Structure 1
Amino acid sequence: MQVSEAYGVVAAILVLGLGGLVGAFALNRALTVTYPTADKLKTYESGVDPVGEGWAQIHIRYYLYAYLYVIFAVDAVYLFPWATIYAALRISSLIEMFIFLAFVAVGLLYAYRKGILSWT
């Protein structure tokens, strides 16, 4: 198989994929029945009519909780898969994981020093 034939296969797959996507959107548009009324076009949030402005202040502590979640989530995303194949890895991966855990520990230490980890 020559390179031009391989690119032809890739191009054919792209054209078929895009054609299927456009066809699905066109079919959806053709088969959808809509009757726009004033009530249907009105903005609502979870079935409740909006009251007041759309802008509200959020306390900074919620962002700090989100930061802590990211620390633990990233830790889990990297640590658990690494631990499952630890026996097949070299000592350099162990050193790299301890460096990563040191970064996580610095983040947690920062949160502890700022008093974020206290629930009172």
Structure 2
Amino acid sequence: MIGLTLVLFLAFGVMIPLSMERVGRWLRLPTALSNGAMGRPYESGIQPEGDTWQPQYVRYYLYALIFVLFDAETAVLYPWADAMNRVPPMLGLQAVVFMAMLLFGLVYAWKKGVLTWM
């Protein structure tokens, strides 16, 4: 039973993206790529000034990554805190180790200057 399930899962995992790609190619209009508008960003109809493809600082991505990390931490810790009086004490130790690792990562980022804005 597991073998059949695995084969079906892999078949659907390959066939769905391939069929989506085929349908996308079939629906694409031939004039969409030829008029040059596809390469320009659209921001409220105003023509862009200067080069629109400017490199972004890595600092913004690091801020976003740290935000996502601590947002996920919050999503994990709220149910953990709610169930704390109904679970074995070992789970509390695991929560402390989890928070200590995240705190170590935050201190490391702080010491490296990642959190310094300018």
**TM-score per shorter chain, which class?**
0.5 to 0.7
- CA distance 1:77–1:44, shift in 2 (3 Å): same
**What runs of 5+ residues in structure 1 fail to find an aligned partner?**
none
CA contact (8 A) 1:71 1:107 kept: no
Pair 110,42 (structure 1): closer, same or farther in 2 beyond 3 Å: closer
Higher relative contact order (CA closer than 8 Å, sequence separation 6+) = 1
- Alignment partners' CA distance in 2, 1:68 and 1:95: 24
| 2:51 equivalent in structure 1 | 52
Q: Report the aligned-residue RMSD.
A: 4.3
- Report the counterpart of residue 36 of structure 1 in structure 2: 31
Q: Is the 8 A contact 1:44 1:50 kept in 2?
A: no
User: Larger Rg: 1 or 2?
Assistant: 1
Q: How many residues align?
A: 111
Shift of the 33–58 alpha-carbon distance from structure 1 to 2, 3 Å rule, reads closer
| Structure 2 gaps, min length 5 | none
When normalised by structure 2's length, the TM-score is: 0.55
Partners of 1:64 and 1:116 within 8 A in 2 = yes
TM-score, normalised on structure 1? 0.55
Residue 39 to residue 51, structure 1, CA distance change in 2 (3 Å): farther
Match of 1:105 among 103, 106, 109: 103
The percentage of aligned residue pairs carrying the same residue is: 22
